[in-house]
Chains A and B, each alone.
Chain A
Amino acid sequence: MSYIIAHPERVLSLTGAHAAMVIAALVVALAIALPLGILSSRKPRLRPLLLGGLGAIYTIPSLALLALLVQLFGLGAAPIFVALVAYGQFMLVRNIDAGLRGVDPAMRDAAKGLGLSPRMQLLRVELPLALPVMVGGLRIAAIATIAIGTLAGYVGGGGLGVLIFDGLALHNTAMIVAGSLSVSLLAILVDGSLRWCERAVRTRLGG
């Protein structure tokens, strides 16, 4: 705690940078995962290939993947950003796919039978109904992204990992504790608020 009390602005600004990195990565990851998840839910033959491929990326140890990406992109924010987007895909796509496939067939039948075009069926019925499961996936992805994001400190990408890795190098335990504690708090906060969102959309759907 002593480091946080002594350098509150530094901890706060690194927390802000960490959060910004996570949000940017999640936004880009979602933009990629949404069409992939829709595709996966519609094409049963493509699904194992897609989820298998993304699952394979997910199983690569993050440090190994990052080392590889540093070779490609050099040090800085770029390699960690790519790693975070790649790691998020599996959880996001899997839950978007599961959410869409879990929509009651009667809902789809009613939507189609009433004369909604395929696009409107998706936007007005299927996606809203899949939302709780999708938010669940976003929550898991966000937690993982916050955790893996600490590796940014190792490759010069900034964020709270800086405190942990600098602390390790300087044998400064207070610094390490400050970094770990802040990352944990951030994760708990995000987990809590997304849980709340999940519950809110679920209640709205009457489940």
Chain B
Amino acid sequence: MQRGAEIVVRGAGVTYPGAATPTLQDLTLTIAPGEFLVVVGPSGCGKSTLLRTINRLIPLGAGSIAIDGTDIASLDPVALRRSIGYAIQAVGLFPHMRVGANVAIVPELLGWSRERIAARVDALLTLVHLDPKRYRDRFPRELSGGEAQRVGVARAIAGEPRVLLMDEPFGAVDAIVRSQLQAEMLLLVRELGTTTLFVTHDVDEALLLADRIVVVNRGRIEQIGTPLEVLANPVSPFVERLFHANDAVVELREKARELHHR
């Protein structure tokens, strides 16, 4: 299957019209092909903005972003978005389209043949553990929260994207369903090899899913590192507090520190 793309963000900055301070400031990072990068930070820190600059839903005010060496500013934004998977917290399934039609949107836009699309839809639904026969012709309103999130993921990867953007895709489901979806997500993306940028405010989710974690605060990167590194060596009081905020994490952190210094 397709390999993930490399994403290089250089000095990215975004200032919303009329805002006194920039939402993103001088952000630089490289996401390796196939890497699962989780952006974590408090609400309003600019993490969603970062994600949305990559498919040009938000224009960069400064700096540049390149996917596999091509500056995205030189690409047609509509074509760029079709090549990038996109899943959001509100799920965003279109209520007037059946599950199958929702999943088929991007392949249709890409001009695939009808047979190829039908086969792809069934394969994707199976991949996210929904029986195509049962779910293909349902409307989104006939799905549970977890099922809808699964369809949202299936739709995001339908066009065989080399980059996947996910903005708190599991934010709207209960804890049990969420951990199930997280575990499946991990396997799925590993298997596909898609480069994934995943935004969350949930520290546990970040620790579970990430190859590397990017901690963002007030539009700047506080720290980038593997979950272990970030836990063991928080570079600032902010990062320490963020991961300390969760009691369950404290224990894990002690263990991580031990492991790291061994």
- Using a CB–CB cutoff of 8 Å, the interface residues on chain A facing chain B are 104, 106-107, 109-117, 120, 124-125, 128-129, 204-206
Contact B78 A117 (CB under 8 A): yes
Known contacts A107-B94, A110-B94, A205-B95; 13 additional CB pairs below 8 A are A106-B88, A109-B92, A110-B88, A110-B92, A112-B57, A112-B81, A113-B57, A113-B165, A114-B81, A114-B105, A115-B80, A205-B96, A206-B95
Given A116-B109, A125-B94, also A109-B139 (CB < 8 A): no
Contact with A along B93-122 (1 / 0, CB 8 A): 111100000000110010000000000000
Residues of B within 8 A of A117 (CB): 78
User: In whole angstroms, what is the CA distance A104 to B91 when docked?
Assistant: 12
Question: B46 interface residue, CB < 8 Å from A?
Answer: no
User: In whole angstroms, what is the CA distance A124 to B106 when docked?
Assistant: 13
Contact with A along B205-240 (1 / 0, CB 8 A): 000000000000000000000000000000000000
Question: B79 interface residue, CB < 8 Å from A?
Answer: yes
Describe B's contact surface by its main secondary structure: mixed
Question: B188 interface residue, CB < 8 Å from A?
Answer: no
User: In whole angstroms, what is the CA distance A117 to B139 when docked?
Assistant: 24
* CB nearest to A108 among chain B residues: B92
A109, A115, A128, A206: which contacts B106 (Cβ < 8 A)? A115
Interface size bucket, B side? 20 to 34
Contact A115 B95 (CB under 8 A): no
* CB nearest to A120 among chain B residues: B109
Can you give 17 contacting A-B residue pairs, CB < 8 Å?
A109-B88, A111-B94, A113-B88, A113-B92, A114-B82, A114-B109, A115-B83, A115-B106, A116-B105, A117-B78, A120-B109, A124-B94, A128-B94, A129-B95, A205-B95, A206-B95, A206-B139
Contact B57 A115 (CB under 8 A): no
User: In whole angstroms, what is the CA distance A124 to B109 when docked?
Assistant: 12
Contact A113 B90 (CB under 8 A): no
Contact A109 B96 (CB under 8 A): no
Question: B34 interface residue, CB < 8 Å from A?
Answer: no
Given A113-B55, A113-B86, A115-B78, also A129-B96 (CB < 8 A): yes
Contact A114 B86 (CB under 8 A): yes
User: In whole angstroms, what is the CA distance A109 to B52 when docked?
Assistant: 10
Contact A115 B90 (CB under 8 A): no
Question: B162 interface residue, CB < 8 Å from A?
Answer: no
User: In whole angstroms, what is the CA distance A204 to B98 when docked?
Assistant: 10
Contact B78 A110 (CB under 8 A): no
Residues of A within 8 A of B78 (CB): 115-117
Q: Chain B nearest CB: distance from A53 CB in Å? A: 29
Contact B57 A109 (CB under 8 A): yes
Question: B140 interface residue, CB < 8 Å from A?
Answer: yes
Residues of B within 8 A of A128 (CB): 94, 96
Contact A110 B95 (CB under 8 A): no
Given A110-B92, A128-B96, also A206-B140 (CB < 8 A): yes
Contact B139 A115 (CB under 8 A): no
Residues of A within 8 A of B79 (CB): 115
